[in-house]
Structure 1
Amino acid sequence: MKSALSSAAVLLVSAAALTACQPDSAASASSSTPSRQAGAASSPADTTAPAPPPSTTASPPDGTASQVSSTSSTSSSGKAGPSSAKPAPAKPSPAKPAPAPRSRYATSDSYAWKHPCSSKQISVHLVRRASAPTQRVIEVRNNGARSCGLSYYPHVVLWNADSATGGVTITPLVPDGLGGPPASPVYAGRTAYAVVDLDPSGATKGTAFGVNEMNVLADGDHMSSRETVQFPLGAGAHVLKPKLGLYEDTVARAVASMESADIQP
């Protein structure tokens, strides 16, 4: 009986001793649990978990975001979108005037013969020929929309503009045997040419003294003398038996006409 009690006592003492030795291990076991929980928290979230509901204060109402994006896109492209104001319809451009009058009369000889050129319709220029220093080309351009008529040749007078009395005045020779239509037609936008040779012989002696200006009246048959245009000839111009040709549509033809001049106008 004692032996049994002693054995039981020994067992109790041993159990107590074992219990006293366990606190460190128990603390270790209890601290290991939080460590595993920390590791679980650092891992990625469960994808099956539902996402939190969107905040109504941070996100715009449904559909507003796409509308703003559309508006921004249309603004950058310059095209009118559904939310932008419609542009005013384009006004039709005014109709251009019909070119019928020009197409009908611009190149009409019969119209030109009945409608002499006016000084407001034409421009007159004098050009010196580089290949022939004694020759001058009179250019009469029709700036109007319809053809007009000039006399057979311009009225030309050579004189001394520095003289109080004008000094001697010289009128060039012109071609003989004129006939045909009563005027030289000049089409709209075209130029008529007449050539004057101041000294066809090329002589330097016996020339008219002091002649330094050429007066040109484009149409001596219909224009007033007040519409005469003065052109300086420059110093050293030699004038001797000058010749003047008819109006032509090219300079070459005007030169040929001038060479045939042989009578006083």
Structure 2
Amino acid sequence: MIAYLFEFIGTAMLLLLGNGIVANVVLKNTKGSDAGWVGIALAWGIAVFVAVFIAADASGAHLNPAVTLGLAVIGKFSWELVPGYMLAQVLGAMMGSTLVWLSYKKQYDATGDPEALRATFCTSPAVRSPFWNLVTEIIGTFVLVFGVFFIAGGTFGEEPVSLGSLDALPVALLVMGIGFGLGGPTGYAINPARDFGPRIMHALLPLRGKGTSDWKYALIPILGPLLGGGLAGLIYVGIGM
């Protein structure tokens, strides 16, 4: 039970700081509007560092259904725990996104651009092309999960493959690298909970002029990361045999 709780807390912290920088950049009447993409990528890395450091010792700090799936695929995490972890991650993402809304309530009220409002919750592609958007998310998440395997496990066959607090910095740098190198086409969801939970809150919260939650795109940042995480697990097992 404690592991589920810290997956929830860690993912909430991840989204609070990660979507917080997006809100700071794109909403009206903030002091961070000039931070741009560099600020977003750096802040998401810091968000990962803080969240992993908090949750590592209690839950292994998956904070991402793609990581949970990948660890289960390589046999380092119980399949029985997978649904509970994923649910905790989605609920944590919903909470973190809600806290962003509370923190920036006056800025949300002042912003009339539906796309800017939605961007503070969930991702959208720079060029809408479902197949290629899916490819981008698969590749980005593969890099994340494959990297996590080596950061957390070191070498093949070691037990356990689980993130500890000392792994927070390298994982944060890995996420920064993905943001800078692969984030442009889709906004690098690389985490189904990070996109799905906040998208639910975008639909539920009383945002002025929010427009649609773009559910037509929502499957891409769910399916792509899960495929990327699963592929990372299969290749990790394959080259380690």
Q: TM-score range by the shorter chain?
A: under 0.3
Bigger RCO of structures 1 and 2 (CA < 8 A, at least 6 apart)? 2
- Name the one with the larger helix percent: 2
Q: TM-score of the superposition, structure 1-length normalised?
A: 0.25
- Name the one with the larger strand percent: 1
Structure with max Cα Rg: 1
Q: TM-score of the superposition, structure 2-length normalised?
A: 0.26
